[in-house]
Amino acid sequence: MDTVKDLLEAKGHEVYSVRPNATVYEALELMADKNLGAVMVVDEKNAVNGIFSERDYARKIIIKGRASRTTRVKEIMTEKVLYVEPSTTIHDCMTLMTGKRIRHLPVMDAGRLVGVISIGDVVKAHISVQESVISQQEFRISQLERYISGGV
């Protein structure tokens, strides 16, 4: 699994989203129901307007004493959304996510939202790649040991 495309093929392309005028409470209900840390905020044409995350809730609702039942997602969402493309490597995703301290990345293909990946997805994919490399190295070592010991 080297690219975002590979990751999405394994995990799926499903994207959960809310409209900008949804209440924060409605977004939180969806997030709780689907066990998500963030949802995309899209307009009626499915254009990405922003992302709403647990971090937005904690920093812009709880700490500021706002009400989640009356505050609209568009008032507190993160508007500047970084994204990746299907051809982006898992390594580049990890670098971007750790460097910018973000946990979710939308995946855009030709201007269309085709998925969302989380830092957990990226870490699992990275571990999978590392395990594959280690397995290949172990196989080569065993073959070399057999060759050296004359057991070819």
Domain layout of the chain by residue ranges = 4-148
What is the pTM for the complete model shown?
A: 0.80
Q: What pLDDT, on a 0 to 100 scale, did the predictor assign at position 144?
A: 80
**Phi, psi dihedral angles at 35 (to 5 degrees):** 55, 55
Beta bridge partners of 117: 105
Q: What pLDDT, on a 0 to 100 scale, did the predictor assign at position 152?
A: 55
Which residue ranges in the chain fall short of pLDDT 50?
A: none
Q: What pLDDT, on a 0 to 100 scale, did the predictor assign at position 137?
A: 75
Identify which of 23, 24, 17, 71 has the alpha carbon closest to the alpha carbon of residue 44: 17
Q: What pLDDT, on a 0 to 100 scale, did the predictor assign at position 130?
A: 64
Largest pairwise CA distance in the chain: 76
> In whole angstroms, what is the distance from residue 122 CA to residue 50 CA?
21
> In whole angstroms, what is the distance from residue 43 CA to residue 2 CA?
32
Q: What pLDDT, on a 0 to 100 scale, did the predictor assign at position 132?
A: 66
Alpha-carbon distance values, 119 to 103, 106, 116 (Å): 5, 12, 10
The CATH classification number of 4-148 equals: 3.10.580.10
Q: What pLDDT, on a 0 to 100 scale, did the predictor assign at position 129?
A: 60
